């Protein structure tokens, strides 16, 4: 059996937040807003105006707690019950939105997601990545419900720091690079074919509009190019995951997992590290210099790092070895069509770095 949970409604574009009042009032009368500290500061005036105009009471603005952990989910669920809220508005980045979606499931309330950075497709997916309270990865918590509404406002997202958009671009490019590496020449049908087609669309949109979307964010201006890229990061990446009927992460995410063992690289940003991992994956596949140079040029245009030194300038040989060891033994590496060793992965990194310098 296959089943898939889609968000009921997705609004995307400049000023999309102006739909919030009408959407919230159709779902409930008392809204609890939870999110990241910066996100609440940035968006609460807009949210308040929308809710007031639509006659929805706001029960509270509550910080999600900084970690998407079971402790925080249960604490916030209690807040929802105490305030007798009947709709949840989750605002912020991936962890805040993931927390909000889990709180919605815990309390059986509909959730509206309002991303304030474009670093992941968490706003759309029926999935919460849970961590322990100390920040260590715990599990992928699959939710039997997707958000009731997703509001992707490009005016808000144009004003977020560029590194978050770059992270979203790196993670979204991985959808295509990794799925292509896993699928090879396999005959994919049905859901798998939809997932593949959406991942290819992720690549095409970013190849075409990635550089211009970064410029839009540098200028803090919503533009049509930024909208095209936001569709890739949220919708086509979301559909790649939603419609996937098998593994869809490989060497790029495995290298990311390797980076998480080292203090100097762990906090660099998931999508940015995956973005560098994409290039190493292409090298691992034995792709030509011309193809790699094209991917490196795209990464540079999207503000994605193209060398280890750009990620952490002072990595010791021991730290590099620890990263490589963890990467080749990460579960996602097992999805590559051949065995990846520490030595070949190190050679791949060097090849990417050499080509990136030669392309300057
Ligand atoms: Zn990712």
CA of 179 to the centre of ligand 1 (A): 12
Does 299 reside within a domain?
A: yes
pLDDT digits (tens, 9 = 90+) for 17-51: 999 999 999 999 999 999 999 999 989 999 999 99
**Which residues are within 5 Å of ligand 1 (an ion), measured at CB?**
171
In a domain, residue 309? The reply is: yes
Please indicate, yes or no, whether residues 120 and 224 belong to a single structural domain of this protein.
no
The rounded Å distance from CA 36 to ligand 1 centre is 20
The rounded mean pLDDT for the chain is 96
Give me ligand 1 centre to Cα 85, in Å. 32
- The residue among 99, 104, 170, 108 whose CA lies nearest residue 138 is 99
Q: Which is it for the CA torsion 258, 237, 212, 11, positive or negative?
A: negative
Ligand 1: centre distance to CA 56 (Å): 35
139 belongs to a structural domain: yes
CA 113 to ligand 1 centroid distance, Å: 19
Judge residue 357's burial from the number of C-beta atoms within 10 Å of its C-beta, 0-12 exposed, 13-18 middle, 19 or more buried.
exposed
Angle between helices 289-301 and 270-284 (to 10 degrees): 170
Cα of 270 from ligand 1 centre, angstroms: 6
Q: Are residues 123 and 187 in the same domain?
A: no
Same domain, 291 and 218: yes
Please tell me whether residues 132 and 180 are part of one structural domain. Answer: no
Among the listed ranges 141-150, 186-195, 322-331, which one has the minimum average pLDDT value? 186-195
Cα 272 to averaged position of ligand 1 atoms, centre (Å):
9
CATH number at residue 45: 3.40.50.1970
Whole-number pLDDT of residue 110: 98
Out of 101, 129, 157, pick the residue that ends a domain.
Answer: 157
Compute the distance from residue 244 Cα to the ligand 1 centre, in Å: 14
Same domain, 249 and 198: yes
> What confidence tens digit (pLDDT) does each residue in 174-214 have?
999 999 999 987 888 999 999 999 999 999 999 999 999 99
- Confidence class for position 354, pLDDT limits 50, 70, 90: very high
Q: Are residues 353 and 261 in the same domain?
A: yes
- The residue among 142, 157, 172 that closes a domain is 157
pLDDT in tens, 160-172: 999 999 999 999 9
Number of independent structural domains in the chain: 2
Taking the centre of ligand 1 as the mean of its atom positions, its distance from the CA of residue 3, in whole angstroms, is 22
- Cα 304 from Cα 268, distance rounded (Å): 11
Mark which of 94, 128, 157 sits at the end of a domain: 157
Q: Is there a single domain that holds both residue 144 and residue 189? A: no
Q: Which helix (H) or strand (E) holds 107?
A: helix 94-107
- Residues 254, 335, single domain; the answer is yes
- How many whole angstroms separate alpha carbon 296 and alpha carbon 352? 8
Name the one residue in this structure whose structure tokens are 């991985």: 174
Do 134 and 227 sit in the same domain of this protein? no
189 alpha carbon – ligand 1 mean position (Å): 24
Residues 215 and 316 in one domain: yes
pLDDT confidence of 359, banded at 50, 70, 90? Answer: confident
What is the reported pTM?
0.95
Q: Which residues contact 140 (CB under 8 A, 6 or more apart)?
A: 127, 128, 129, 130
Taking the centre of ligand 1 as the mean of its atom positions, its distance from the CA of residue 9, in whole angstroms, is 24
User: What distance in angstroms lies between residue 148's CA and the mean position of ligand 1's atoms?
Assistant: 23
DSSP state of 162: H
For residue 260, the CA-to-ligand 1 centroid distance in Å is 13
> Residue 208 falls within a domain, yes or no?
yes
132 and 206 share one domain: no
Cβ–Cβ < 8 Å for 280, 251: yes
Question: What pLDDT is recorded for position 153?
Answer: 98
Contact of 206 with 302, CB cutoff 8 Å: yes
Locate 94 and state its tokens.
Answer: 């991936």
pLDDT at 221 over 90: yes
At 201 the pLDDT is 98
Domain of residue 302: give its range.
164-358
Q: ∠ CA(60), CA(61), CA(67), 5° rounding? A: 125
For residue 32, what are its two tokens? 């609890």
Mean pLDDT of 262-274: 93
Residues 69, 184, single domain; the answer is no
In a domain, 2, yes or no: no
Tell me what the mean pLDDT of segment 246-270 comes to: 92
């Amino acid at each position: 059996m296959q089943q898939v949970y889609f968000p009921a409604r997705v609004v995307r574009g400049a000023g999309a937040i102006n739909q919030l009042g009408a959407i919230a009032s159709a779902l409930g009368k008392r809204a609890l807003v939870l999110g990241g500290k910066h996100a609440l500061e940035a968006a609460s005036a807009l949210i308040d105006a929308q809710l007031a105009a639509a006659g929805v009471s706001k029960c509270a603005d509550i910080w999600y707690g900084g970690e998407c952990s079971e402790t925080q989910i249960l604490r916030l669920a209690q807040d929802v019950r105490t305030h007798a809220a009947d709709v949840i508005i989750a605002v912020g980045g991936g962890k805040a939105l993931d927390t909000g979606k889990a709180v919605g499931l815990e309390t059986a309330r509909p959730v509206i997601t309002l991303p304030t950075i474009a670093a992941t497709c968490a706003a759309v997916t029926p999935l919460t990545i849970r961590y322990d309270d100390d920040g260590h990865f715990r599990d992928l918590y699959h939710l039997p419900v997707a958000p009731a509404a997703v509001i992707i406002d490009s005016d808000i997202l144009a004003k977020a720091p560029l590194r978050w958009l770059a992270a979203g671009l790196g993670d979204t490019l991985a959808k295509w690079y990794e799925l292509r590496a896993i699928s090879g020449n396999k005959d994919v049908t049905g859901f798998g074919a939809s997932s593949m087609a959406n991942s290819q669309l992720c690549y095409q949109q970013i190849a075409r509009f990635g550089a211009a979307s970064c410029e839009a964010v540098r200028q803090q201006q919503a533009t049509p190019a930024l909208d095209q890229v936001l569709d890739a990061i949220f919708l086509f990446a979301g559909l790649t995951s939603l419609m996937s009927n098998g593994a869809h992460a490989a060497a790029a995410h495995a290298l990311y997992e390797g980076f998480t063992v080292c203090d100097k690289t762990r906090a660099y940003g998931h999508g940015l590290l995956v973005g560098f991992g994409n290039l190493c994956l292409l090298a691992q596949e034995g792709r030509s210099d011309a193809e790699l140079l094209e991917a490196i040029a795209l990464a540079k245009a999207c503000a994605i790092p193209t060398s280890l030194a750009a990620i952490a300038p002072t990595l010791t040989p021991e730290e590099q070895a620890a990263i490589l060891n963890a990467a080749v033994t990460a579960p996602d590496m097992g999805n590559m069509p051949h065995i990846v060793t520490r030595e070949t992965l190190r050679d791949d990194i060097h090849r990417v770095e050499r080509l990136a310098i030669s392309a300057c």
